[in-house]
Structure 1
């Protein structure tokens, strides 16, 4: 059980595996009012930057679950680097099947709602590990502009126009599911650029070092195609944000 090797190559030494940067991540922790001792469950926790930096800056405790062995190892190393290994722990496993042994003050799934088949199902997964009155964080794409054709939504990694909503539609969906939106931090084009362009540099450096690898042809084509696809489509059409929700 693991992610394909191409994910680790593409992400390289990135610590935040979505299009918000460290400043926005810190802003999110501040605006939701984290306090020392707040317990957090992070499903699809990536390299653990959310839990580790919030443990350092706010004194939270937490558990992260991720399907990638590379990410899990990086998260544990980051916790040790920041001196918070006694506050946060990271488990390798399928976040969709994870059954918490305790309830948490906050449950997060930042950028991986595919684990629940979309936002509604992911909210259900998060709520099973949440104490009554606890907060949920969901990271999710939305359309900044209405995509005019299949080429556009496909370039934005959507299977159809309807896979994502626009921002009012996404906020409305939270309400339809019985949740109040109480805070949000949105990616902007600059933070998108930092996330997307880092992939290209990671790919190029890996290709230069591994020209004969079995993945070289596939990743060479990705590096050829993705920058133009990004500036033509994703940068203009696709938004992304983290949304803080409380059950009504």
Structure 2
């Protein structure tokens, strides 16, 4: 079980696998007013930066689940590095359908709502692990401005314009599902640049070290086109944020 290898290559140097900087992640942790010993479940936990830094800064206890063997191992190494390995656990596995054995105070899926077939299904999945009065965190893209055509939407790596909402529409989706939006922290342009541009150096160094690898052609194609794609489409059209929800 693993994610497609190309993602393990392009994001191998990332600690945060979405458009958040470390400062934004810290802002989110502070905004949620996390109490020590709060149990946090993170589905699609990547390299574990959210759980590890919140364990260090707020004293939470966390469990992360991710399909990438590489990212899961990086998460465990990060826990050791920050001295929180006794507070966080990382599981290599399929987050889709994962329900915590013990109810948690915060259930999160930050940037991987495909695990539940979209926002509604992922929220329903997270709710199965949540204690009464707990909080759900969802990380999701939204349109800063609607693309004029589906071609532009595809340039933002969406299937079509209908894949995402404008921010008010996304907030309305949460309301219609029966949740209050109680906090949100939104990525900025620098966060998008850090997420996307960091891949380019990783790809170039990987290509220099692995010119004969079977994946080299795909990585070369991405490195050739991704800077212009990001500058042309993502920076002007696509936003991203983490939204904190509580059931009404």
The interval holding the TM-score normalised by the smaller chain is over 0.9
CA distance in 2, matches of 1:128, 1:70: 28
Q: For each residue in 1:121-158, what CA deviation from the matched residue of structure 2 results, as whole angstroms up to 9, or x when unmatched?
A: 00001000000110010000000011111221111111
CA distance in 1, matches of 2:216, 2:123: 38
TM-score of the superposed pair, with normalisation by structure 2: 0.99
Residue 72 (1) aligns with residue 72 (2): yes
Q: How does 1:23-34 map to 2 (within 5 A)?
A: 23-34=23-34
Structure 1 segments unaligned to the other structure (5+ residues): none
CA distance in 2, matches of 1:161, 1:127: 28
CA distance in 2, matches of 1:99, 1:130: 9
Map of 1:127 onto structure 2: 127
Map of 1:52 onto structure 2: 52
The aligned length equals 248
Map of 2:241 onto structure 1: 241
The 3-state SS of whatever aligns with 2:41 is strand
Map of 2:109 onto structure 1: 109
The 3-state SS of whatever aligns with 1:183 is strand
TM-score of the superposed pair, with normalisation by structure 1: 0.99
Q: How does 1:93-242 map to 2 (within 5 A)?
A: 93-242=93-242
**Pairwise CA distance, 1:97:** 2.2
**Pairwise CA distance, 1:87:** 0.4
Give the 4+ runs in structure 1 shifted more than 3 A: none
Structure 1 stretch displaced more, 105-114 or 147-156 = 147-156
**Pairwise CA distance, 1:160:** 1.4
RMSD between aligned alpha carbons? Answer: 0.7
CA distance in 1, matches of 2:148, 2:204: 32
CA distance in 2, matches of 1:104, 1:150: 39
CA distance in 1, matches of 2:148, 2:205: 35
CA distance in 1, matches of 2:10, 2:163: 24
The 3-state SS of whatever aligns with 2:91 is strand
Structure 2 segments unaligned to the other structure (5+ residues): none
CA distance in 2, matches of 1:215, 1:110: 28
Would you say the 8 A contact 2:99–2:125 is kept in 1?
Answer: no
CA distance in 1, matches of 2:82, 2:202: 24
CA distance in 2, matches of 1:157, 1:94: 23
CA distance in 1, matches of 2:111, 2:26: 17
Would you say the 8 A contact 2:65–2:94 is kept in 1?
Answer: yes
